[in-house]
Amino acid sequence: MPKAKKSDSKPQKASTAAPSAPPAPNWPPLRPLLPAEDLALEALVPDQIYLIRNFLPSSLCKSYASFLASLPLTTTPGKPKKDEAVRVNDRFQVQDARFAETLWSGTAMKELATTRFGENDEDAYTSDGEPLSSKEREFKAQKVWGGEPLGLNPNIRIYRYSAGQFFAQHYDESNALTFLPQSATKAVPARTTWTLLIYLTSCSGGETIFYPDPTRENRNPEPISVAPEAGMALLHRHGDHCMLHEGAEVTGGEKWVLRSDLVVGR
């Protein structure tokens, strides 16, 4: 197996962004959404991969994908830098703290990742059979997310993969940043701990495939393959605990993805 590379998810610092950095797009409103109580954070692999199905309704995904097609996407590569993963897709990247905040607290994301975390787990009850309080759930959540969740990375990335395009095996890095939470007046030291992918289309091929490390108990673990589903959000742990993964080649249709990261306090 070729040596897995890093993805180049390093955010541009707003202060040092190139003069050519694109202005924030005039994103269509994230409406209508399904009621948050109809959605759930589903553990595909506990502590590693979580899914939120129907995070965005499919009608909204359709209008989003056609809006995104109007943005100035650029095709990669170029030539990947020495230790960057090979990827071939069209992408658009922008620093947009307001949009990141809307995706976090204007949707079910914040609630599912904090006060409702683990609500359907077997251990969601105390030994007396009482449901865990929302404070206790928040505490559990912080262990999984690697700190107190503050919001989503303003470094928003849009990918479009057409037939034949893919993102080769790699690990996603954690990035340090300073972050201004919605309710705060001062930016705080923060870091990214989980990758967020929101699939806006379904397609043929294009699965996000994770390769668990072999263990003593299981020397040859099966890869975990997630087929893009319009409106589904996927969170996976990154940085030191990132699983090797790839975006498999799209064989039919287009795969559109909105990418950000979970940001926690450091």
Ligand X SMILES: O=C(O)CCC(=O)C(=O)O
Residues that bind ligand X (CB under 6 A): 7, 9, 159, 167, 172, 195, 197, 208, 245, 247, 257, 259
257 binds, among Fe ion, ligand X, none (CB under 5 to 8 A by kind): ligand X
CA distance readout (Å), 229 to 74, 149, 182, 189, 205: 24, 26, 30, 34, 11
Give, as ranges, the residues between 167 and 226 that touch Fe ion (CB under 5 A): 172
Q: Smallest gap, in angstroms, from Cβ of residue 21 to ligand X?
A: 19
User: Closer to ligand X at the Cβ: 89 or 107?
Assistant: 89
Those residues with Cβ within 8 angstroms of residue 121's Cβ, 6 or more apart along the chain or in another chain: 43
Nearest residue to ligand X by CB is 247
201 binds, among Fe ion, ligand X, none (CB under 5 to 8 A by kind): none
Q: How far is CA 49 from the centre of its chain?
A: 10
> What CA–CA distance (Å, rounded) separates 80 from 2?
15
Helices and strands (H, E) in the chain, number of each type: 4, 17
User: Closer to ligand X at the Cβ: 142 or 204?
Assistant: 204
233 binds, among ligand X, Fe ion, none (CB under 5 to 8 A by kind): none
Decide if 249 contacts 206 (C-beta within 8 A).
Answer: yes
Residue 163: how many other CB atoms lie within 10 Å: 15
208 binds, among ligand X, Fe ion, none (CB under 5 to 8 A by kind): ligand X
Pairing of strands 166-171, 5-6: parallel
Q: Smallest gap, in angstroms, from Cβ of residue 137 to ligand X?
A: 28
Q: Smallest gap, in angstroms, from Cβ of residue 255 to ligand X?
A: 7
174 binds, among Fe ion, ligand X, none (CB under 5 to 8 A by kind): none
